[in-house]
Amino acid sequence: MESLQQKGGIPLLGSDFPEMKVQTTHGIMELPKAFLGKWFVLFSHPADFTPVCTTEFVAFQKRYDKFRALNCELIGLSVDQVFAHIKWEEWIREKLGVEIQFPIISDTGAVAGALGLIHPAKGTNTVRAVFVVDERGKIRIILYYPQELGRNIDEILRAVEAMQISDKNKVAMPANWPNNELIKDRVIVPPAADVKTAKERLEMAKRGEIECYDWWFCHKKVVR
């Protein structure tokens, strides 16, 4: 099967995460093999010992248990040597009282190049990218932030949970789920693609199995 990765560019949604062997603060790891059967979030940061990146790493670590509860691991990355990562972890532990427990990739530029993390205007620093990869090694979400803007880690956590619920129940997730302005924490039943299904949806609504604004906008409750 032909890869969905763009030639020389950023991988596409639905493509396989590129196979690679990486040096990390936890030793050599093979991706995505190391996390097979689990979801994982790979996030890049511009550089160690920088203020915004430090706040992000603390925020990721504070939520690490919540990610793991979703069968999801974390792995960081920047174009820094592994000893810089280790010293930065030590600084965070000693000065901020937070121990970083997830691995950080020490990249020579090969990983950043394969994932499209180096943008010409920013020199050799990696942008703030996020790759959410599912248990089959498929890339499901890609987010990019500029160096000046720290990420909202709660949004990344929400996105992982929402995608897992979507996969499990074959549904779509509304804006701001689980606090949507129209349907709260309910989920959207995929729109009917033919007349028969449209009529069936309205019958399901009459029986109380789902609720509908119209045949094309139906929603229901699922167990989180």
User: Measured between alpha carbons, how far apart are the two ends of the chain, in Å?
Assistant: 34
- Residue 123 pLDDT grade (very low, low, confident, very high; cuts 50, 70, 90): low
Active site residue 72: no
pTM: 0.89
H or E element at residue 220 = strand 217-220
pLDDT at 7 over 60: no
pLDDT, tens only, 105-121: 998 778 888 888 776 65
Q: Which amino acid is at 70?
A: L
Set 53, 72, 212, 218: catalytic member: 53
Of all residues in the chain, what percent carry a pLDDT higher than 70?
92
DSSP-assigned letters across all residues of 112-175: HHHHT-B-GGGTTPBPEEEEEE-TTSBEEEEEEE-TTS---HHHHHHHHHHHHHHHHHT-B--T
Domains of the chain: 20-151 (3.40.30.10), 170-224 (3.30.1020.10)
pLDDT by residue (tens digit) across 33-68?
Answer: 999 999 999 999 888 899 999 999 999 999 999 999
